Amino acid sequence: MSLAEFEHRILVVDDEPVIRKLLTRVLERANFEVVQAVDGLDGIEHLQKDAGLRLVISDLRMPNCGGLDFVRRAIGEFRRDFEFILLTGDGDKSDAIDALRLGVREFLDKPVDRADLEAAVQKAQERLLERDREHERVRKLELENVSKAKTLDDITRKLGGAEQEMIDRLSLISQYRDIETAEHCVRVGLYSQLLADMAGLDTQTQRSIRLAGILHDIGKVGVPDSVLLKEGPLTDAEFEVMQRHTEIGFSMLNASDNPVLDQAAQIARYHHEKWEGTGYCNGLSGADIPMVARIVSIADVYDALRSSRRYKPPFSHREAVDIITKGDGRTTPDMFDPKLMSLFLEHNQRFESIFDSMPDQMV
C-alpha cells in the first residue's frame, strides 16, 4: 500500500520555514500535494478555503494560534473527518495529553524521522479510509432499508411506510418541547440498530429498535417547561419531575398491538435503568431490564455526550468512549450491560462514523 493511495493532499502547519521545507520535501517525494501554513490561524484559513483537506501535520508550539488551539478550532468549526499528526518537543507532554482527549492519535518527536513520518501518515490514511467505508456502509444500509420496504407486501409496507412517518411525526412533537435535534433521535435509532446487530438479535428486532429508539424521550412532552428548559443543574425536586418522562412516554405508547410501538413503550420506560440498579423509575438491575432498553441506554448516553446541550459543550468521540467505559464520577461503566459494553468498546469507531455522517442541523 503506497503512502498516497488514499489521501493525496496534506496540510503542513509550522512556523519554522526549515521544518515546513523538510516535511514538504519528504511528502512530495511520496506524491503528496502539500499545502503549507505558517501557524494555526493560517491553517484555519486553508481549511475554510479547501473542504478537501482532511490530513494535517501540525507543530504544537506556534505563535498566534498554537497546535492545540488549532486542533480544537478545526474540530469545532468544520463538519468533516480529520486526522491530525502533531509534532512535539520537550515540555509538550501535557499538551499532548490534551490532544489525545481531542482524538489526536499520532505524535512525532522533533527532529522528525522520515520513516516515522511515513508510518504516521499511512496509519492516518488508513483510519480515514476506514471511516469513509463505514460512512458508505451506513448510507447503503439506509438505501437497502428503503429498497426492501418497496418490495414488501401491503401489510409490511404499512409497517415500513406509514409506521416510519408516524415515528417521525411523534419524534417531532418531543423536539418542539426540548432543545434537541431530529438528528439526535435518528442517530440513537441507528446506534441501537447497530448494537442490536452486533448482539446477535434478529433482523426484525434490529429494524424495529431503530424505529422505536427514535421515541425514547417522547415522554418529555409531559414535563413542564420550567424543568425541561431550565438553564443549569436541576434541584432534587426538579429532577424527580424530569424522571417522570419515562412513565409518561410509556403511558403514551403502551397498550398497542403494533410491535414497534410496544417495543418503543418498553424503551421509553426503562432506558434510564442501570445495570447495577441505581437507575429510574423502577430501580431494575441486570437482566431484569429489557434488552432493547439496555441497548438504547448506551446509544442515548453516547450521543448525549457527543452533542452540545444547554448545560454542557460537546465531547469528542474519544472523550465519550472514555467516559462510558472508564467513568467520570457521574457516569460509571457498571451502569451498562457488560456484554454490550464490550461490543461498544470493540466497535466504537462505527458509532463515531454514524455521528459524523449525520451532524446536528441547528436552526
Catalytic residues: 220
- Cα atoms found within 13 Å of the Cα of residue 147, Cβ hemisphere only: 6
For cell 412533537, the residue is 173
Name, in order, each residue with C-beta under 8 angstroms of 94's C-beta and a sequence gap of 6 or more.
none
Nearest to 121 by CA among 263, 249, 9: 9
Give, to the nearest 10 degrees, the angle between helix 348-357 and helix 338-346.
70
Query: Which strands form 83-88's sheet, in the order they lie side by side?
Result: 33-37, 9-13, 55-59, 83-88, 106-109
Pairing label, strands 33-37, 55-59: unpaired
Distance, in Å, from the CA atom of 181 to the CA atom of 34, rounded to the nearest integer, reads 38
Does residue 267 contact residue 215 with C-beta atoms inside 8 Å? yes
Burial, 78: exposed, middle or buried (Cβ in 10 Å; 0-12, 13-18, 19+)? middle
Beta strands in the chain (DSSP E): 9-13, 33-37, 55-59, 83-88, 106-109
| Backbone torsions φ then ψ of 48, nearest 5 degrees | -65, -40
Nearest to 123 by CA among 7, 219, 233, 224: 7
Distance, in Å, from the CA atom of 300 to the CA atom of 340, rounded to the nearest integer, reads 13
Take residue 350 and report the three cell numbers written for it.
Answer: 462505527
What DSSP assignment string belongs to 126-150?
HHHHHHHHHHHHHHHHHHHHHHHHH
Amino acid occupying residue 32: F
Nearest to 94 by CA among 67, 112, 113: 67
Take residue 128 and report the three cell numbers written for it.
Answer: 480515514
- The CA-atom distances, in angstroms, between 305 and each of 28, 297, 314, 337 are 39, 12, 6, 18
